[in-house]
Amino acid sequence: MSAESRLNPWVTHERLDDEVIAINLETGAYFAFSGVAADCWSLVVAGLDRAGAAAAIAERYGVDVERSRSDVSQFVTQLEAAGLIMGEADAGATPESVGLPTPNGPLAYTAPVVDSFEDLEDLLLLDPIHEVDEAGWPVAAAE
C-alpha cells in the first residue's frame, strides 16, 4: 500500500463530535475512533498523507512531531490492513480544509487506536432503543 491513502469505496463513516463510527460494508466490521484517532481518521480520509496528518496532529495536540509521525504511521497501517483506506492521497488536501471540531478545552494526546467490532451485538447494545417487542424493530411505540 502507498504511504498516501484514501477511503475504501465500501466504507461508510460518520463523525459525531469527538467520535467516528466507520463500517466496512464489504466485511460487515464496525470501527470506532475517538479523540486523536477520530482526528487522524478525519485528516486521512480527507486526503492528507501520513506526514501531513502527523504534522496536523502534532500541532493540534502539542506533541513532538516525531512521536506523532510514528503513531500516525502505525494507525494508517492498521487502517489499510483493516481494508478501510487504500490508494493515493489528494495532493490538494490541507488540515484547514478538514474542519476538525473546535475543542472544548485542552486536548490530551494518546496514540490513535483502531477499535473494531466484528459482531453486531456489541454495537446494538450501545443503542438505547435495542429493547424491542414481538413487532420487531424499528416500530414506533404506541402511546
Highest-confidence segment of 27-31, 40-44, 119-123: 40-44
Strand order of the β-sheet with 29-34 is 11-16, 19-24, 29-34, 115-117
pTM of the model: 0.77
Q: Residue 28 has what pLDDT? A: 79
Packing angle of the helix pair 65-81, 50-61 (nearest 10 deg): 130
pLDDT at 25 over 90: no
Chain mean pLDDT for the chain: 83
pLDDT of residue 3: 44
pLDDT of residue 99: 83
Given a cut of 70, whether residue 21 has pLDDT beyond it is: yes
The predicted model gives 29-54 an average pLDDT of 94
77 vs 82: CA distance, rounded Å = 9
State the Cα–Cα distance between residues 30 and 32, nearest whole angstrom. Answer: 7
